[in-house]
Amino acid sequence: MIGYIKKHRELFILLLLLLILVIIPLSFLRLPSGHDYKYHMGRIYQISENIRHGKWFAPIYYEQLSGCGYASPVFYGDVFLHLPGALVTLGMSVEASLRIYIMLCLTATALVTYFCALKLTSEKLPALVTSVLYTFSSYLAIDFITRVALGEVQAFIFLPIAFTGLMSILTGDAKHWLLLPTGLCGVLISHTLSAACLAFFFLVIALFYIPELIKNKKRIALIALSAVIFFALSAFYVFPMLEQLSFGTLRLNDGTADTIWGTLARRAMPLYKTISDFNLTTANDPWIPNGIGLAIPLSVGVLIYLLIKKVRVSDKAVLCSTLAVIALFASSTLFPWNALQSILGKLQFPWRLLMFVTFFGAFGAGYTLKSLTKKQLVPVFAACLAAFSVFSYCVTAAPKLKTMINNEIRGVVLEENWHDSLGGAEYLPTGTPWGTMIKNGAVSYTNDTGIRKTLKTTRDFDVTTVSFTGTAADDAYIKIPLVMYKGYEARDQNGALRTLTCERGYVIADIAGLTDGVITVKYVGTAIRTVSQIVSMLTFIGIIIYLILRKTALKRCRRNSPPTADRVSGS
């Protein structure tokens, strides 16, 4: 046992840090309210309600907005959130399921990063340092304990996977090429903005390795194949989202979401604050996160020193560290955000790029560590990097941990109304009066005064029925208490389809000439959604079959290969 621990001591150190810094605190202390706390608590709750009614992976949160429904899953992937949602369905509290899920995400981030870095560097100590700098970073601490930004927390898991796949294609033997499309898909369905940023950085990396691509056409073919698999695997999310965006104007694409929290220039950070271990938000400025701390700057400084001394260093160390510095600069007020507001407004916060400073900085540190020629300095440098990173993590998490401890001592339990929390309400049609929807619930309206008093509205979770007595006028319509998205269908008591339109976000059903009518409205989806789901499912099955066949082929090759000297001697 002791020999096994010594052999894998780097992995056990990582697990020990996880236990002390993540698992133990979150096992006994409730999360405090954070920036996105209500929104993600609401998502988990709504998923649990969908599951309770047999609606797995539904595109609508049917009970949100007092039953009017909200298509958040179409624009903000929630596939992975079905795990905490299922726990809630089984009887766990929403808050407890959220804590367990965050623990699982951070554990997955640490282990995935370690093994990905191990594949890329082929050394355990650089892999450990990379995982520590990435997992126990200031920005990830901000994401899970201050902001409760669950989308970005999930995306942290998949960035190393996609990067490993890309580097395997560009600089390796391409054995792990499939990690590129699957990792990218994981990032996309976790957090769309992070996926868009990652695609840009990956384009820069690909351009850096253009000479290698030109020399080896197989690498180009694998990148093209990866793109096809990525779009096929993520089709269930990408194409229904694009379809809804083209259907009508939402707060997401009418400019509202771009400035709802302020302009990019206003939300950028002064450069010196981007590397501060402490939160330097002032009373007159918008909130900003803690800086990245000293670990990554130290790594970049050592790399520059090695270059000045003309020590041979990995081009990957230079590339990753350069991208980290560029991302750091872009998160600051020195970057010309005013000129880019109309193009990049969807980013909302330039300091989101600290996620990529952390990512590329961590891998740059791992590569730099491997480049050190004086091996006696490697453990010292590794210890300094890890210590600085853990310090930054602890300084960032400390204020919220103090609040959590005080709440536990005093028996404070947060009782916030997060059931109908919409965040910035970006996925509502422009002009939707969501406050009125929440207040009125299942109340319909008609322009026909002759039948208005006879209107009766009932709901059966995902089915809304409106009935009336009398004959509707030739221009009559009913405003049904549902948020209008493409895919809703209305039928009258005769089974005939009724025309649906949208007015200030409401579903409007034509009832012209209908007598003693009963209108039933239900979300049935679209052809694009159905086809996209089939494509993604077939692609997923195809990937599993490919992996099984490849593993079988490798086993067969090993059995048929000539025995080595060691195998012959039995040693």
How far does Cα 568 stand from its chain's mean position?
Answer: 51
pLDDT of residue 570: 41
Residue 162 has pLDDT above 70, yes or no: yes
**Cβ atoms 213, 220 nearer than 8 A:** yes
- Distances in Å between the alpha carbon of 471 and those of 327, 451, 456, 496, 511? 64, 7, 15, 16, 9
User: What's the Cα-to-Cα distance from 321 to each of 311, 350, 359, rounded to whole Å?
Assistant: 16, 19, 10
**pLDDT attached to residue 237:** 97
Going by C-beta distance under 8 Å and a sequence separation of 6 or more, which residues neighbour residue 201? 323, 327, 356, 360
Rounded distance between C-alpha atoms, residue 366 and residue 157, angstroms: 17
User: What dihedral angle (degrees, nearest 10) is formed by the CA atoms of 170, 173, 175, 181?
Assistant: 0
- The single-letter DSSP state of residue 173 is -
3-class secondary structure for 402-432? HHHHHHHHHCCCCCCCCCCCCCCCCCCECCC
> So what's the pLDDT on residue 3?
80
Written as one letter, the residue type at 323 is L
- What pLDDT shows up at residue 564? 54
- Give the pLDDT band (50/70/90) at residue 563: low
User: For residue 376, what pLDDT is reported?
Assistant: 77
DSSP letters for 235-304: HHHHHHHHHHHHHS-BTTTSSHHHHTT--HHHH-B-GGGGG-SS----TTS--------SHHHHHHHHHH
Number of helices (H), then strands (E), belonging to the chain: the values are 25, 9
Q: Which residues make beta-bridge pairs with 508?
A: 479, 501
The answer to whether 335 touches 325, Cβ cutoff 8 Å, is no
Choose among 407, 190, 389: nearest CA to 290.
389
First to last CA, the chain: 22
Identify the weakest region by mean pLDDT among 85-94, 344-353, 366-375. 366-375
Using an 8 Å Cβ cutoff, are 274 and 326 in contact?
no
Give the bridge partners for 523, in sequence order.
488
Q: Work out the average pLDDT over 201-211.
A: 96
The mean per-residue pLDDT over the stretch 262-279 comes to 92
Task: Compute the average pLDDT of residues 328-349.
Answer: 94
Distances (CA, A) of 501 to 428, 505, 506, 510, 570: 15, 9, 8, 8, 77
- The pLDDT, as a whole number, for residue 562 is 66
- Please list, in sequence order, all residues whose beta carbon lies within 8 angstroms of the beta carbon of residue 531, skipping any fewer than 6 positions away: none
Cα–Cα dist 81/95, whole Å: 13
Strand partners, 520: 465, 491
User: What is the percent of the chain with per-residue pLDDT over 90, rounded to a whole number?
Assistant: 83
On the CB side of 213, CA atoms within 13 Å amount to 16
pLDDT score of 571: 33
DSSP code at position 441: -
Please give the single-letter amino acid code of residue 549.
L
* Tokens matching residue 53: 């009614």
Bridge partners of residue 457, in order along the sequence: 466
The pLDDT > 70 percentage for the chain reads 98
By three-state DSSP, how is residue 77 classified?
coil
Element (H, E) at 477: strand 477-483
For residue 219, what is the DSSP state? H
Is the distance from CB of 142 to CB of 394 less than 8 angstroms?
A: no
Angle 361-365-370 (CA atoms, 0-180°, nearest 5)?
A: 155
Complete DSSP assignment for 380-404: HHHHHHHHHHHHHHHHHHHHHHHHH
* Angle, in degrees to the nearest 10, between helices 37-52 and 82-89: 60
| pLDDT score, position 418 | 80
Using DSSP's 3-state secondary structure scheme, residue 313 falls into: coil
pLDDT tens for each residue of 433-480: 999 999 998 999 999 999 999 999 999 999 999 999 999 999 999 999
Rounded to an integer, the average pLDDT of 359-377 is 91
Render pLDDT for 294-315 as a digit per residue (tens, 0 to 9).
Answer: 999 999 999 999 999 998 999 9
**Residue 396's closest CA among 295, 270, 514?**
295
Beta bridge partners of 70: 61
Where are the strands (E) in 47-200, listed by range? Answer: none
* Strands of 506-510's sheet in order across: 445-446, 477-483, 506-510, 500-503
Phi, psi of 225 (to 5 degrees): -65, -40
Residue 429: beta bridge partners?
A: 250
Tens-place pLDDT, residues 512-558: 999 999 999 999 999 999 999 999 999 999 999 999 999 898 888 87
Q: What is the pLDDT of residues 240-252, one digit of tens each?
A: 999 999 998 999 9
Report the predicted TM-score, pTM, of the whole model to 2 decimal places.
0.94
C-alpha–C-alpha distance, residues 498 and 520, integer Å: 10
What is the per-residue pLDDT for 415?
66
- C-alpha 236/C-alpha 413 separation (Å) is 38
Structure confidence at residue 281 (pLDDT): 81
> What is the residue type of 155?
A
Instruction: Give the pair of three-digit tokens for residue 445.
Output: 């309206």
Residue 538 amino acid letter: L
Q: Is the distance from CB of 219 to CB of 170 less than 8 angstroms?
A: yes
The answer to whether 218 and 105 have CB atoms below 8 angstroms apart is no
- SS3 helix, strand, coil % of the chain, rounded to 5? 60, 10, 30
Grade residue 115 by pLDDT with cuts at 50, 70 and 90: very high
Q: Over 80: is that where the pLDDT of 567 sits?
A: no
Torsion of the alpha carbons at 36, 39, 43 and 46, rounded to the nearest 10: 160
